[in-house]
Structure 1
Amino acid sequence: MTFQAYLDNIEKQTGVTPDQWISLATARGFTKTGTKATQITDWLKADYSLGHGHAMAIVKLLKDRAGLK
């Protein structure tokens, strides 16, 4: 499955677009330096019922587009 396919499936499941994920994560402070992937995946699993692979796709999105380090 391609990265884009992951994002498409996540959007179908949650109704949240990639740009909205960036905004939501930023509002929660998850794009700050030092944020661990586990913090983000725990949030996504709890609040959006995402599986681990899909949650990690959002982590990658944040690294690629929101400056998460």
Structure 2
Amino acid sequence: MSEQIKGPASYFPSIEKKYGQPVQHWLGLLAGQREGLKHMELVNWLKAEHGLGHGHANALVAYHLAQAK
């Protein structure tokens, strides 16, 4: 029995399928942003600059910020 993935990472397969890039690509882009940007600033950046949907951008940013802590 496989363990169900929860939280932001549960979006990763659909993000990779929809946008054609591995999750590490998006996390790398987020890591390249200047420090101190707020959650929604990063979400809006992904949406505006890379065309991600809100839910996908939100999941990537939440995961990215959680890993940074």
Q: TM-score, normalised by structure 1?
A: 0.69
Give me the whole-angstrom Cα distance separating, in 2, the residues matched to 1:21 and 1:9: 13
- Partner deviation per Cα, 1:13-69 (whole Å, 9 max, x = no partner): 21222222221112222xx3x32011111111112222211111011220233x0x5
Number of aligned pairs? 64
C-alpha contact 1:18 1:61 (8 A) present in aligned 2: no
The equivalent of 1:21 in structure 2 is 26
Q: TM-score, normalised by structure 2?
A: 0.69
Over aligned residues, Cα RMSD in angstroms? 2.1
Larger radius of gyration: 2
The equivalent of 1:37 in structure 2 is 39
5+ residue gaps in structure 1? none
Return structure 1 stretches of 4+ with deviation > 6 angstroms.
none
Give me the whole-angstrom Cα distance separating, in 2, the residues matched to 1:5 and 1:23: 18
5+ residue gaps in structure 2? 1-5
C-alpha contact 1:14 1:48 (8 A) present in aligned 2: no
Question: Which of 2, 10, 13 is the aligned partner of 2:15?
Answer: 10
The equivalent of 1:61 in structure 2 is 63
